[in-house]
Structures are given as C-alpha cells and as structure tokens.
Amino acid sequence: MMSLKLGFVGIGRMGAPMARRLLAAGLDLTVYDPNAEAVEALVRSGAKVGGSPAAVGAAAEIVFLSLPTPDIVQAAALGQEGIAEGGTARIVVDLSTTGPRGAKALAAGLLERDIATVDCPVSGGVAGAEAGRLTLMAASPQDTFAEAAPLLSHFGKVTHVGTEPGQAQLIKVINNLMSVTALAIASEGCVLAQKAGIDPAMLMQVVNSGSGRSNASEDKIPKYVLTRSFDFGFALGLSAKDVRLCLDEAEALGVPMIVGSAARQLLTVAKGELGPEGDLTALIQPIERWAGVEVAGGKGGA
Ligand code: NAD
C-alpha cells in the first residue's frame, strides 16, 4: 500500500481537503486542477503536480475525481488529455455528484479502456471533508471496492450500496434533494417567525427538540444563516445541478416530484439573484426580500 501511486483531479472546496487527508496519511499523490493556486496549496502539503488529467493518469494507478459537472468528469476521464490517455490508471474513483446517467456513461467509457470505476459520491460538506467524516456511498464490482475501500476510509464512512454504476449516484441525488428541500422549508419558517416577531434562533431551538428538525434546522440555519456568514461552502449552481439530476431521473422513471419541483424553483430564483457561486445557505435571501424582513443575525451561532 505504501508504494501505491494515487492521483487526484479537481481539488476545489471538497477535493482539496480530501487530497490533504491522503497526504497526511503519507500516501503518494499527484494532483491536477486548472486553478494554479489550488495546486500550489497542495504542493505545500506534499503533493506532486500533474500538468493534465493525462499526466495524473500516467503517474497514478488509482485516480480520484471531485469535479463540478458530468460533462467535466467525462472530459477529464476520457477526453483528449484525459486520465485514460495516461496509460497507468487502473481504477477511477468518482467522488463528484454526476447523476446516475453520468456514472453509467463514465463507467462504460472507462471499461473500454480497461479501467474500473467506483461510482462514489459523498455527503457531509466541506467541514465533513476536512474532518474525514464524510458519508460515502460506493457502487462498483466487489473486487474494485475491496481495493478502494481502505483509501476511502480516509475520507469518512463508506457503504457499498451496489455493484452497478449509477446506484450510488441515485442515492446521492435523492439525499441532496431532500437536504435542499429541508433547507428551503426551514428558511421559509425562519422568515415567517421573524415577521411575526418571534426569534428564529428560538424557533430552531424548539424545532430541534420537536418533529420538524432536520440537518437544516440543526446545522445549516444556526451556523451559516443566523450568523449571516453564508459560508457553508456549497455553491447554489452545484445544488441546482444535483436537483436537476434527481428530477431528470424521476421524470425518466415516471415518478412525480411535486415538492422537489418547488424546491427547484426556489433554487432557480436564488441562483438567478445571487449567481451560481452564491452559497446554498443564502437561499433564504430572496424569501427575506419578498417578506420585507431579514432574520436577525448573531443570535443563533453554534
Ligand atoms: P468546486 O467548484 O469548489 O471544485 C471543483 C474543482 O474542479 C475546482 O477546483 C475547479 O478548478 C476544478 N475543475 C474545473 N474544471 C476542471 C477540469 N476540466 N479538470 C480538472 N479540474 C477542473 O466544487 P466542490 O464544491 O468541491 O464540488 C465538487 C463536487 O463534489 C461536485 O460534483 C459537487 O456537487 C460535489 N459535492 C460538493 C459538496 C460541497 O459541500 N461543496 C458536498 C458533496 C458533494
């Protein structure tokens, strides 16, 4: 294991802390990202530099991806300067959220190049990535999973959810739709409380020992909304992508998602107002503007 060569393509908000955990464990890691600052920061932590995804695929047997969209993942793995061109990679572990169709296309394309894939999205945000406390869901053949699992344990707790690519992605996009829907309704609840003269921090406190609690009421609203820091670290554009991937799958399978569609509309409005790089927790801001109030800051910081 000590001499195993690893690679990482996409060292953004999630990828960088995960890559740092591999380096901290003394593993050999070559990284690529078009953002030079992100690469320099990891080099200071001991990473080697690959000049392209192909260079990482030449240096490493197992390559991790943490990239924004299915198209970017496909290009980084199988495009002109892609990982498959490198000739050394045997396994690609895709930690990005790409949806079931993206995962199937990636695995099929890589299989043609004799490269196995672990469809392995993650949940738990930047804080979870930094602490090594992510929830990982993996879909891959058993032998590939057996090889990847000890490495994935550096990132958090991993569950092998199936052997078909796309199975983990479906679980992930359902998780994210449920998560953003909880944030949307908790945000509406806070704005209503504020307008009625009730302290939203107190609302969250009561809800958290009642039946309305969720990750939004326990974590996102107290830490990132009531403090008005809006720095949870997940972009509105990426959340909108996840919700689209889930609703696309629901439509393809003939499953109505009325509540999910409403959450999508709110995300579309927030993304339009705040831009795709706006933080997910700032989703409350358009609701505040429509209601003509701002939830009080500084009271609910966790
Ligand atoms: P990010 O935008 O911070 O990072 C993406 C990185 O990919 C950036 O450093 C960017 O420079 C790089 N990149 C862009 N195009 C590239 C290319 N062609 N080749 C190589 N690198 C390229 O995004 P993030 O928040 O780190 O999310 C990464 C993935 O993880 C996404 O699929 C997202 O949905 C998922 N995710 C994010 C979170 C979160 O809380 N941020 C949680 C779970 C899953």
Residue of minimum CA distance from atom 4 in ligand 1: 12
Task: Indicate whether 46 and 129 sit together in one domain.
Answer: yes
Is residue 217 pLDDT above 50, yes or no? yes
Q: Is 82 among the domain residues?
A: yes
Same domain? For 155 and 273 the reply is no
Asked, for residue 302, whether it belongs to a domain, the answer is no
| In the predicted structure, residue 302 carries a pLDDT above the cut 80 | no
* Distance from the alpha carbon of residue 199 to the mean position of ligand 1, in angstroms: 36
Inside any domain, residue 45:
yes
DSSP 61: S
Please tell me the residue having the least CA distance from ligand 1 atom 25: 13
The string of pLDDT tens digits covering residues 101-120 is 999 999 999 999 999 999 99
Q: In terms of domains, do 223 and 130 share one? A: no
Q: What is the mean pLDDT of the chain?
A: 96
Domain that holds residue 265: 170-291
Active-site positions read: 172
* 44-77 confidence digits (pLDDT tens): 999 999 999 999 999 999 999 999 999 999 999 9
Q: Quick check: CB of 77 below 6 Å from ligand 1?
A: no
Are 202 and 62 members of one domain?
no
Give pLDDT, residue 301. Answer: 40
Residue 57, ligand 1, Cβ within 6 A: no
Q: What is the pLDDT of residue 3?
A: 80
Give the atom of ligand 1 at the shortest distance from the alpha carbon of 234.
41
User: Whole-angstrom Cα distance, residue 278 to residue 154?
Assistant: 29
* CATH code for position 254: 1.10.1040.10
Q: Final residue of a domain: which of 143, 163, 183?
A: 163
Residue 217 lies in a domain: yes
Clarify whether residues 17 and 53 are in a common domain. yes
Do 152 and 50 share a structural domain?
A: yes
Q: How far is the CA of 192 from the centre of ligand 1 (A)?
A: 34
Q: What is the CATH number of the domain that holds 39?
A: 3.40.50.720
Task: Supply the pLDDT for residue 2.
Answer: 53
Count of domains observed in the chain: 2
Residues 158 and 33 in one domain: yes
For residues 17 and 138, membership in a common domain is answered with yes
Same domain, yes or no: 184 and 146: no
Q: What pTM, to 2 d.p., does this model score?
A: 0.93
CA of 190 to the centre of ligand 1 (A): 30
User: Does any domain span residue 243?
Assistant: yes
Whether 296 maps to a domain, the answer reads: no
- Please report whether residue 298 resides in a domain: no
Ligand 1 pocket member 233 (CB < 6 A): yes
Task: Report the share of the chain in percent with pLDDT over 70.
Answer: 97
| Tokens standing for residue 134 | 């992510």
